């Protein structure tokens, strides 16, 4: 191997020492707290994101930062979790799910006389729950109520504001953009905001899927948990699916992400479409 090849494969320069013991400790703590399994490819990501917390807390090293975290905990645990969670989302991502939701919502309204109750369990910065809310409105369920949760408090605050750069909404159908968003003017030029009636449909709450109980009220008719389970190992996935089954009514739907497959879970879910599961 040439010196040039060795340079390409070497770790990038770091101003704070970061050893294997530090990374293994981070992996253990984030798995215990949030269920997230970090593989070796996430080493640089962990350094980049948590080195900011090392600097912000003035602890000077990863070892000292993690010592303080385990000793004192407090609000820093949430900062630790926020730093290591990944938030990749967009409006109407995985488009094939929304016609299924539209039909389900219409049928539910027709047969029960009321809109379905929903939980978006990985709300991120809000594009997913607002996409769900728009679909419910188009199904005639504008009075529906939804819980939208995430473990990351920073993204939840963004979601609750419902303000986005205009280019992030450009993929929306023009009629939807006009119906459900307000364009910013003056100092808010280049921004759009979700209309208040859409925001009123959603209750944003911080929820850790690893918690023993979620205390979310009545059972749900629909749960969205997309592109979250990929960060958990199989035992954790199965544990969460069992808990989903307990809070989802029979006949209700669970929407999963495009790279998630629960065929090895021999529980009360039956595949009803592309990454759509029905609660038996």
Residue with tokens 């070497």: 10
150 an active-site residue? yes
C-beta neighbour count of 241 within 10 angstroms = 19
Q: Got the DSSP string for 129-185?
A: HHHHHHHHHHTT-TT--EEEEES-HHHHHHHHHTEEEGGGGTTS-HHHHHHHEEE--
Residues recorded for the chain:
280
Which letter does DSSP use for residue 209 in this model? T
Q: At a CB cut-off of 8 Å and minimum separation 6, what does 113 contact?
A: none
Which is the catalytic residue, given 22, 33, 117, 150?
150
194 has which bridge partners?
Answer: 181
Which is the catalytic residue, given 49, 106, 176, 195?
49
113, 217 in Cβ contact below 8 A?
Answer: no
Q: Got the DSSP string for 43-101?
A: HHHHHHHHHHHHHHHT--SHHHHHHHHHHH-TTHHHHHHHHH------TT-STTHHHHH
- Alpha-carbon distance of 49 to 59, in angstroms, equals 15
Residue 132 falls in which region: left (phi positive, over 0), alpha (psi -120 to 50) or beta: alpha
Q: Which two tokens stand for residue 162?
A: 């419902």
Q: Which residues are catalytic?
A: 49, 150
């Amino acid at each position: 191997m040439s010196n040039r090849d060795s340079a390409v494969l070497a770790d990038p320069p770091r101003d704070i020492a970061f050893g294997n013991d530090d990374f293994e400790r981070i992996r253990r703590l984030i798995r215990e707290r949030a269920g997230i399994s970090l593989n070796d490819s996430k080493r640089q990501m962990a350094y980049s994101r948590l080195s900011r917390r090392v600097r912000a807390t003035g602890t000077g090293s990863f070892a000292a930062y993690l010592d303080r975290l385990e000793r004192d905990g407090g609000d820093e645990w949430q900062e630790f979790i926020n730093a290591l969670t990944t938030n990749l989302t967009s409006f109407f991502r995985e488009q094939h799910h929304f016609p299924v939701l539209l039909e389900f919502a219409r049928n539910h309204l027709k047969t029960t006389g009321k809109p379905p109750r929903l939980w978006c369990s990985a709300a991120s910065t809000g594009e997913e729950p607002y996409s769900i809310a728009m679909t419910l409105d188009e199904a005639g369920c504008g009075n529906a109520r939804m819980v939208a949760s995430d473990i990351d408090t920073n993204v939840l605050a963004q979601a609750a504001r419902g303000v986005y750069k205009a280019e992030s909404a450009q993929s929306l159908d023009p009629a939807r953009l006009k119906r459900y968003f307000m364009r910013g003017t003056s100092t808010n030029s280049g921004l759009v905001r979700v209309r208040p009636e859409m925001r009123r449909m959603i209750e944003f709450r911080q929820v850790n899927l690893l918690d023993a109980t979620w205390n979310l009220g009545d059972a749900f008719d629909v749960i969205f948990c997309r592109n979250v389970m990929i960060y958990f190992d199989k035992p954790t996935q199965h544990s969460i699916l069992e808990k989903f089954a307990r809070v989802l009514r029979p006949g209700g739907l669970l929407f999963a992400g495009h790279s998630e497959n629960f065929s090895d879970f021999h529980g009360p879910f039956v595949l009803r479409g592309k990454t759509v599961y029905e609660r038996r």
